Amino acid sequence: MCYACAMKLEAMLDEVGRRALREALDLTEDAPALLRPTQDARFGDYQLNAAMALAKKLKRPPRELAGALAERLQGEPAIASAEVAGPGFVNLTLDDTWLAARLGEDLRDHDADGVPPVAKPETIVVDFSSPNIAKQMHVGHLRSTILGDAVVRLLRQVGHHVIGDNHLGDWGTQFGLLIVGMREWGDEAKLESEPVDELERVYKLARARAKEDEDFAESARAELAKLQTGDAANLALWERFVAATRHTLDAIYARLGVTFDEWLGESAYHELLPGVVKTLEERGLAREDQGALCVFWGELADAPPKLKKQKEPFIVRKRDGAFLYSTTDIATILVRRDRFEADRSIYVVGSPQALHFQQLFALAKMLDVDMRLEHVGFGAILGDDGKVLRTRDGKAVRLSDLLDEAEERSLKRIEEARAEGVLRIPEEDVAAAAHAIGIGAVKYADLSQNRLSDYRFDWDRMISFKGNAGPYLQYNYARVRSIFRKAELDMQRFEAELRLDEALERVLARRLARFGDVVHRAAEQAEPHLVAEHLYELARGYSAFYKEHTILGAEGATRASRLALTALTGRQLKRGLGLLGVDVIERM
């Protein structure tokens, strides 16, 4: 009876609905079933909205169409009842026996816990983190880093070939300033011992001086030009700056558990830029204006209407011959297409850069690039005052300081909870747990938000064993582990027949059955918060069940079935948290 094994639940129900629709209404062509999960369990589990959409076209009352559809669905093994509701919806309630069998299949899916692979795997480049060299990583890069990492994990989970690329800002105007600045104020010893601090200090001085002193600014530009045309001395300095920053970055990524497949910074595309600019000119997409080479959207017939009104041009070469961020990004697209043969390229970059990407993608299209290009934007992290998060003295918060604080606070909370007897983390595991809980809390707080909104950074809510927070989910996972330790069974391998006799078991089963759909939707829409939401609801559903019913105290088939529900819960928590880059803890 397994017509659904390798299929997501919603896809399968959708197909059932579609077939019933065609047969019930004698349609000659397929019409979408318009399946949605219901918001309120009183209206069943899923809803088909097709009748409403078809009524106009078929010139028949929607309720009548819905009635025919509902009737046709009687006897479907997956569906216990199909009822017409409201002006013409069909509410579906899943059949418990069918659902139990379906979850049994997920239980046996040891490799993917019921998340099927996509039918057509694609090659996808995810451009994320991408900080600028010679600067400390600030909290602004935190979101790109952890969101991007989650997007990579999600897309990989559903079977795509994913290339995570750190597009470092390692070739911009800052290097001209750094080179002249180092000559003027540089401290060799500090460049060795605390390279990034030293580079930042010098950069600030140089930038301030360049604002007031035109000769200084001019010499910075000249040094940049020398660097970009291959001057050996400047290249050697540049390499030192890059290596020093790389070192600091590596330490942060290791702490966050984030890795990349490629580190193709802006400098990697340097040699391609003259060719890119030439192509743009030849194709009539860019023209000179006061010495600079620009794309004027209003002058291009094929430009998207939204950009045509854009007065400011998209500059691809400055008056002094220097190329820009935008030029590099065009070259990058071509490389991703030609060298990586990517079907899609995803940019996880803050929403303030939306216009840059709109212009970039429009230009790529006019260059006949047929790769799906997507900007995955995100909002800001705010402090208590509702403004972008800063330190008390108004400076940008350093990522490394923030992570230190996360681990310190988590350690404190753990010690308190151990003293109260709420947590039972063994002494020797406390340090590792403080790391997993602290870093996990920061990541979860970020990833559980809709990425487009700004959110307020709140330590107390974030490091909490209650409510929608990372530690609460880690705690729920550890509880599952503890049950399996007591039962002396292997959670990952446990198999049993499921039976859904109790109301709370039926609620929990419905939540568990959604996992595959949730992961796919989150991957497709680059929305990790959908996974977070699922895990939180799952943990709540499981807790309610756990409070009401004994698991290890039950007998025979009931005990086995409850252990199966527990195993599925644990496995989804583990896999789901893993998709968010949050580590689980075995004992808490």
Question: Which of 106, 198, 329, 517 is in the footprint of ligand ARG by CB under 6 A?
Answer: 329
User: Residue 315 CB, nearest distance to ligand ARG (Å)?
Assistant: 15
Give the contact letters, 73-92, x = binds to ligand ARG (CB under 6 A), - = no: --------------------
- What number of chain residues touch ligand ARG (CB under 6 A)? 10
Between residues 332 and 359, which has the closer beta carbon with respect to ligand ARG? Answer: 332
* Other beta carbons within 10 Å of 23: 12
Between residues 126 and 531, which has the closer beta carbon with respect to ligand ARG? Answer: 126
**Pairing state between β 35-37 and 46-48:** antiparallel
Between residues 132 and 482, which has the closer beta carbon with respect to ligand ARG? Answer: 132
Q: Does 169 bind ligand ARG (CB under 6 A)?
A: yes
Between residues 127 and 446, which has the closer beta carbon with respect to ligand ARG? Answer: 127
Between residues 217 and 373, which has the closer beta carbon with respect to ligand ARG? Answer: 373
Q: Does 132 bind ligand ARG (CB under 6 A)?
A: yes
- What are the strands, taking DSSP E only, across 12-167? 35-37, 46-48, 79-85, 89-94, 123-127, 161-165
Handedness of CA 134, 139, 140, 143 (dihedral sign): positive
Phi, psi dihedral angles at 175 (to 5 degrees): -75, -35
User: Residue 132 CB, nearest distance to ligand ARG (Å)?
Assistant: 5
Q: Does 349 bind ligand ARG (CB under 6 A)?
A: yes
Q: Does 347 bind ligand ARG (CB under 6 A)?
A: yes
Checking 109-116 for CB contacts under 8 A at 24+ apart, the result is 110/492, 110/493, 112/157, 113/515, 113/568, 113/571, 113/572, 113/575, 114/515, 114/516, 115/157, 115/158, 115/515, 115/516, 115/519, 115/520, 115/575, 116/6, 116/7, 116/8, 116/516
Question: 481 and 424 in contact (C-beta within 8 Å)?
Answer: no
Between residues 258 and 436, which has the closer beta carbon with respect to ligand ARG? Answer: 258
Q: How many CA atoms within 13 Å lie on the side-chain side of 445?
A: 24
From the list 423, 572, 543, 550, the residue with the least C-alpha distance to 487 is 550
**Radius of gyration from C-alpha coordinates of the chain:** 28
Q: What is the C-alpha separation between 258 and 578, in angstroms, rounded?
A: 12
User: Residue 78 CB, nearest distance to ligand ARG (Å)?
Assistant: 44
Q: Does 143 bind ligand ARG (CB under 6 A)?
A: no
Between residues 127 and 583, which has the closer beta carbon with respect to ligand ARG? Answer: 127
User: Residue 333 CB, nearest distance to ligand ARG (Å)?
Assistant: 9
Among the listed ranges 89-97, 124-132, 192-200, 561-569, the one in contact with ligand ARG (CB under 6 A) is 124-132
Q: Does 131 bind ligand ARG (CB under 6 A)?
A: yes
Locate 488 and state its tokens.
């002396």
User: Residue 504 CB, nearest distance to ligand ARG (Å)?
Assistant: 47
User: Residue 167 CB, nearest distance to ligand ARG (Å)?
Assistant: 4
Q: Does 130 bind ligand ARG (CB under 6 A)?
A: yes
Q: What is the C-alpha separation between 22 and 406, in angstroms, rounded?
A: 56
Q: Residues interacting with ligand ARG, by CB under 6 A?
A: 127, 130-132, 167, 169, 329, 332, 347, 349
